[in-house]
Amino acid sequence: MRKWGLSFFGAAGLVVLIFGIAGCQRHPQEKRKLVIMGIDSGTWTIISPLVQAGKMPNFQHLIEQGASGELITFRRTHISPVLWTSMLTGKHPDKTGIKGFISAKGFPVNSTMRKVKDLAEILSEQGYRVGFVGFWASWPAEKVRGWMVSDLLSLGRYKDSGPELNYRTMDYSYLLNLKETTYPEDFIKEIYPLLLSPDQVPRESFEKLAAFNDQEWDRFQKIQLVSREDFESLLKFSLVSDLNFQRVALYLAEQKKPEVLAVYFEGPDIVGHFFWKYMEPEYFTKAPARDLERFRDTLRNYYQLMDGYLGELIQASGPDTAFLIVSDHGMKRVSKEGAVGLQSGAHTQSRVNGIIIFSGPGIKKGQRIQAPRILDLTPTALYYLGLPVGEDMDGKVLTEAFSEDFLKSHPVERIRSYDQKPRSLKEQRSPLDRELVNKLKSIGYIR
């Protein structure tokens, strides 16, 4: 008996050791479903009045049925890949290795430079099927238990080689020849028929955002290049990119049915930067009367578009699915016209916090979350999905978002780390680096 007891405790100790070192490859007995909706620059400044006016019913439903708050961001809010990488890892940039738009070697950052596992990788190792769409620095698409669609999918309209080349790439056939745009790699062929080129997006889709007479529409159709001097080009390609990401996300929800689906939308950031002045024209130099007429509601309309996308995802996901809506930061009117060039909406003059809305089974109704941080997204998602939180994560579980019954029956568990083995770093260039640099210049993030 003594010998058996020693062997037992020795085996138990070995189990604990493996549990802490190997990353806890323990599949939850009770799998839950979660949709994460990432809205770049999502801000309560726009959302709250629209919700109160009944114009964002899907957001209103989740807010009333769940928990929400002002998501505290980093002090430097303009470096999107840094923020989103930290959100999806729960770790500060000094741990993730993603610290800017451009790497030390002089090309845009991507997933080959990230030092730690992100949420998609962790969930895949723990037995969850995932579908992740469009997040910053996600190329090359990583091997996951499910489907990964990298940010390269949105870059085809940011070419800087001249309009002639753009006329030859009006569809997305160029993506079929790129490596690792999606995982599995052949998944790009499966979703290719879903992708709409700018010419395929109907006029009525754009008219939900702004007004067009026939002459204005003719000019709008001919826009082939993105330019920060041509704000209509920014509106055009923001919608095209977000629409395609939504179409892919819906396809995943309806046809592949991953347990965790995550999708990113950039349009609210770009439209907020360049169309805020039409929403509040009294704070800026008077714009042409026709521009004010056409674009006064464009920014608000774009948020209502996001509400429509949310409604589609809710319908496609089923009643037992939780929704976690987050933004990397918020946005506000510039304090002085011209302070950031052509932009009239900003988040860099002073830190502007973002949004978090969490709603679903086990979440408190009508709860206000106090001081949530962007680093808390991954720990909170892991906890909800029945997985332990890494002790090396800098975020925490937002326990106040959960009902008392849920907390009692699901104590927070921890492991040492999901990153015991160093992640292999290739630091390779993307085939669309030039397009990504031009995109960053068009938005005004780099010069």
Q: Is 16 a residue whose pLDDT tops 90?
A: no
Give the span between the Cα atoms of 152 and 136, in whole angstroms.
9
pLDDT at 395: 98
The whole domain housing 294 covers: 33-257+268-317+383-443
In this structure, is residue 242 part of a structural domain? Answer: yes
Q: Is 55 a residue whose pLDDT tops 90?
A: yes
Q: Give the number of domains in the chain.
A: 1
Between 169 and 112, residue with greater pLDDT: 112
pTM (two decimals): 0.91
In this structure, is residue 248 part of a structural domain? Answer: yes
In this structure, is residue 371 part of a structural domain? Answer: no
C-alpha angle 384-389-390 in degrees, rounded to nearest 5? 160
Question: What are the residues whose beta carbons fall under 8 Å from the beta carbon of 190, sequence distance 6 or more?
Answer: none
pLDDT cut 70: percent of the chain above it? 87
Give the span between the Cα atoms of 130 and 123, in whole angstroms.
7
pLDDT at 22: 41
Q: Is 2 a residue whose pLDDT tops 70?
A: no
Q: What is the mean pLDDT of residues 346-350?
A: 73
Give the span between the Cα atoms of 10 and 16, in whole angstroms.
10
Q: How many CA atoms lie within 13 A of 210 on its CB side?
A: 26
Give the span between the Cα atoms of 62 and 5, in whole angstroms.
52
In this structure, is residue 250 part of a structural domain? Answer: yes
Residue 386 CB burial class (10 angstroms; 0-12, 13-18, ≥19): middle
φ, ψ at 56 (rounded to 5°): -135, 70
Q: What is the mean pLDDT of residues 115-137?
A: 97
Q: What is the mean pLDDT of residues 399-410?
A: 97
pLDDT at 173: 78
343 falls in which pLDDT band (50, 70, 90)? confident
Q: What is the mean pLDDT of residues 363-371?
A: 96
Between 214 and 343, residue with greater pLDDT: 214
In this structure, is residue 358 part of a structural domain? Answer: no
Q: What is the mean pLDDT of residues 214-238?
A: 90
DSSP alpha helix (H) spans, 318-416: 377-384, 404-409
Q: What is the mean pLDDT of residues 221-235?
A: 86
Give the span between the Cα atoms of 133 and 37, in whole angstroms.
10
Between 48 and 445, residue with greater pLDDT: 48
Give the span between the Cα atoms of 163 and 300, in whole angstroms.
31
- Return the C-alpha torsion angle 10, 14, 15, 18, nearest 10: 170
**Lowest-pLDDT range of 10-14, 189-193, 205-209, 217-221:** 10-14
Q: What is the mean pLDDT of residues 163-171?
A: 49
**Enclosing H/E stretch for 212:** none
Between 227 and 83, residue with greater pLDDT: 83
Q: Is 100 a residue whose pLDDT tops 70?
A: yes
In this structure, is residue 79 part of a structural domain? Answer: yes
23 falls in which pLDDT band (50, 70, 90)? very low
Query: Residue 408 has which token pair?
Result: 């009692």
pLDDT at 1: 36
Residue 336 CB burial class (10 angstroms; 0-12, 13-18, ≥19): exposed
pLDDT at 407: 97
pLDDT at 342: 78
φ, ψ at 358 (rounded to 5°): -130, 120
Name the CA radius of gyration of the chain, rounded.
Answer: 22
Q: What is the mean pLDDT of residues 370-381?
A: 97
**Lowest-pLDDT range of 50-59, 148-157, 268-277:** 148-157
Q: Is 40 a residue whose pLDDT tops 80?
A: yes
In this structure, is residue 297 part of a structural domain? Answer: yes
pLDDT at 8: 32
Q: Is 28 a residue whose pLDDT tops 80?
A: no
User: pLDDT averaged over the chain?
Assistant: 88
pLDDT at 430: 85
In this structure, is residue 15 part of a structural domain? Answer: no
**Lowest-pLDDT range of 27-31, 43-47, 222-226, 329-333:** 27-31
